[in-house]
Amino acid sequence: MVPVSPDKPLLDELRSIIGDRARAGDFELGLYGKDGSVLEGRPSIVCLPVSTEEVQQIVGACRRHERPFIARGSGTGLAGGAVPVGDPVVIATAKMNKIIEVDLDNRVAWVEPGVLNLDLTTQLKPLGFHFAPDPSSQQVCSIGGNVATNSGGPHCLAYGVTSSHVAAIEVVLPDGTVTLLGDLTPEPAGYDLRGLFIGSEGTMGIATKIAVRLTQNPPEVRTLLLDFSDVRDGAAAVSAIIAEGLIPAALEMMDHRAIEVVEAFVNAGYPTEADAVLLVELDGLAGGVASGVEIVRRVADAHRVGNVRVAADDAERALLWKGRKNAFGAVARIKPDYYLHDTVVPRGKLVEVLEKVYRIADEYDLIAINVFHAGDGNLHPILAYDAREPGVLERVHAAGKAIITASIEAGGVLSGEHGIGLEKRDYMGMLFSEHDMTTQDLVREAFDPDGFANPLKVLPSGSRCSDSFGQHVPEGAWV
């Protein structure tokens, strides 16, 4: 007699709800066992719902079978937040991809969580609006994923991260209840449960509809590329620009290695001889933008700038941004694999931490490439490597821990926009006290007292949620 899989009763019930969109084949389980991080696990079943009602029924079935579940968007997250732990059911929202309503009078759009970030902005552009958060994975990341990790992007310096651009969220809570967090009024009454949910990485429920705020397209935009023969001068110019009282829409920095790989990839005219470049974008009314350009020029001259290039038109501006937003993929010209980090340090400590990143990479025989949101000190060190090399992943993880430690010691924090997930879960004690983490766990417990929603994420082992469903922890979860 062929033994019955312990997952078969749950799979049968899920198929009664969504048909063949409940899957347990090796291909799907392998595909949904990974996200954009270097970690991986394996789910028990993958579900592809198309409505709030289906998500609610799937969560109900998981509860009846005492099986944890995990929400997943496009799988572009970089901290292991969507990596399955504890044989969960993956609830993938990619098919929930409708832009439900665009309300220009109130400057709000209701969207499903699977809508891609750039698709939303592309549809809004002819109407004179856009969705301000713009992660580098903008072409493929979903709005639901942006909500889960409170994503930012180059333009968050002036416009803020995702939480500043979401008015309300329809959520299926871990007990299967559907509720609305936030509303469309200017000052909602009561606690800001909407803000609490954003950045919770699926540990408090699953977003099924999101009301995003629309930002009007600026009347004038200028994009500048500044090059420096010394990265220290470039970093000092960043602080000096902001000290002038000017907050650019974006203020990005790339080091020499990043410039080389980007230019070879996109041929945008990046100066490959430079030690560092700053990509500065100014927007607003024409007079204010023109004044801002002059301030940037003056500050750059005072910090030994090489050349100041102002994009002549939208095509040139798009090409400069293509280089910046494709920098991570361009790393493949050096090595086939990379580990992208995310920490935040005070702007005045940028050079100090960058120099430590280079030393750490040398110590572990890795290649470090730096592309980051310089304006708010959000570092994204890239460690390039070849996964086929024996023992290299151990070196990569050790170097990653050293980079996190250096950032915390410089007065920084663990993450600016990628989240904690599995990658940084066990480093939470570097930044938070035991009391802090207990308090955070109590908040999560208010949403999910039984620990069904994305267990073993964000908070370190020993908390109530971290102890739940912990029988199958993916290799590399503790880095």
Three-state SS sequence of 315-359: HHHHHHHHHHHCHHHHHHHCCCEEEECCEECCHHHHHHHHHHHHH
Asked if 50 and 113 sit in the same domain, the reply is no
Give a yes or no: residue 109 inside a domain. yes
Backbone phi, then psi, for 194, in 5-degree steps? -60, -50
Give the type of residue at 179. Answer: T
264-268 contacts, C-beta under 8 A, 24 or more apart: 264/330, 264/333, 265/323, 265/326, 265/329, 265/330, 265/333, 266/319, 266/322, 266/323, 266/326, 266/330, 268/319, 268/320, 268/322, 268/323
pTM for this predicted structure: 0.93
Asked if 184 and 252 sit in the same domain, the reply is no
pLDDT score recorded for residue 462: 58
Give a yes or no: residue 429 inside a domain. no
Asked if 86 and 106 sit in the same domain, the reply is no
Task: Give the whole-angstrom CA distance, residue 257 versus residue 367.
Answer: 9
Task: Encode burial over 206-245: b for 16+ CB neighbours within 10 A, e otherwise.
Answer: bbbbbbbbbbeebeeebbbbbbbeebbbbbbbbbbbbeee
Asked if 196 and 286 sit in the same domain, the reply is no
pLDDT score recorded for residue 189: 87
Give a yes or no: residue 421 inside a domain. no
Asked if 72 and 141 sit in the same domain, the reply is no
Angle between helices 286-302 and 231-243 (to 10 degrees): 140
Q: What stretch of H or E contains 169? A: strand 166-172
Closest CA to 455 of 174, 45, 78, 170: 174
- CATH classification at residue 362: 3.30.70.2740
Give a yes or no: residue 154 inside a domain. yes
Task: Give the whole-angstrom CA distance, residue 228 versus residue 238.
Answer: 12
- CATH classification at residue 119: 3.30.465.10
**Coil vs helix vs strand at 163:** helix
Asked if 224 and 302 sit in the same domain, the reply is yes
Q: What stretch of H or E contains 385? A: strand 381-385
User: Which residues, in sequence order, are CB contacts of 299 under 8 Å at separation 6+?
Assistant: 237, 240, 241, 244
Asked if 53 and 109 sit in the same domain, the reply is no
Closest CA to 270 of 280, 258, 259, 278: 259
Task: Give the whole-angstrom CA distance, residue 322 versus residue 314.
Answer: 12
Task: Give the whole-angstrom CA distance, residue 158 versus residue 156.
Answer: 5
CB atoms within 10 A of CB 471: 8
Asked if 136 and 161 sit in the same domain, the reply is yes
Give a yes or no: residue 141 inside a domain. yes
Given CA atoms 120, 122, 123, 129 in this order, what sign does their dihedral have?
positive
Q: What residue spans of 128-230 are helical by DSSP H?
A: 143-149, 156-159, 193-197
Q: What is the DSSP string of 228-247?
A: ESSHHHHHHHHHHHHHTT--
- CATH classification at residue 42: 3.30.43.10
- Where among 297, 328, 359 does a domain terminate? 328
Give a yes or no: residue 475 inside a domain. no
- Rounded (10°) CA dihedral 51, 57, 61, 64: 150
Look at the chain and count its residues: 479
Give the type of residue at 381. Answer: P
CB atoms within 10 A of CB 329: 14
Asked if 171 and 232 sit in the same domain, the reply is no
Structure tokens, 98: 């409708």
- Where among 388, 409, 430 does a domain terminate? 409
Asked if 176 and 127 sit in the same domain, the reply is yes
Is residue 320 exposed (0-12), middle (13-18) or buried (19+ Cβ within 10 Å)? buried
Task: Give the whole-angstrom CA distance, residue 366 versus residue 362.
Answer: 6
- Where among 328, 356, 384 does a domain terminate? 328
- CATH classification at residue 285: 3.30.70.2190
Give a yes or no: residue 359 inside a domain. yes
CB atoms within 10 A of CB 173: 18
In order along its 479 residues, the chain shows pLDDT tens digits of 444 567 999 999 999 999 999 999 999 999 999 999 999 999 999 999 999 999 999 999 999 999 999 999 999 999 999 999 999 999 999 999 999 999 999 999 999 999 999 999 999 999 999 999 999 999 999 999 999 999 999 999 999 999 999 999 999 999 999 999 999 988 888 999 999 999 999 999 999 999 999 999 999 999 999 999 999 999 999 999 999 999 999 999 999 999 999 999 999 999 999 999 999 999 999 999 999 999 999 999 999 999 999 999 999 999 999 999 988 888 988 999 999 999 999 999 998 999 999 999 999 999 999 999 999 999 999 999 999 999 999 999 999 999 999 999 999 999 999 999 999 999 999 999 999 999 999 999 999 999 999 999 999 975 444 444 444 444 444 33
Asked if 207 and 229 sit in the same domain, the reply is no
Domain that holds residue 226: 220-328
Asked if 69 and 139 sit in the same domain, the reply is no
User: Which residues, in sequence order, are CB contacts of 267 under 8 Å at separation 6+?
Assistant: none
Domain count of the fold of the chain: 4
Give a yes or no: residue 163 inside a domain. yes
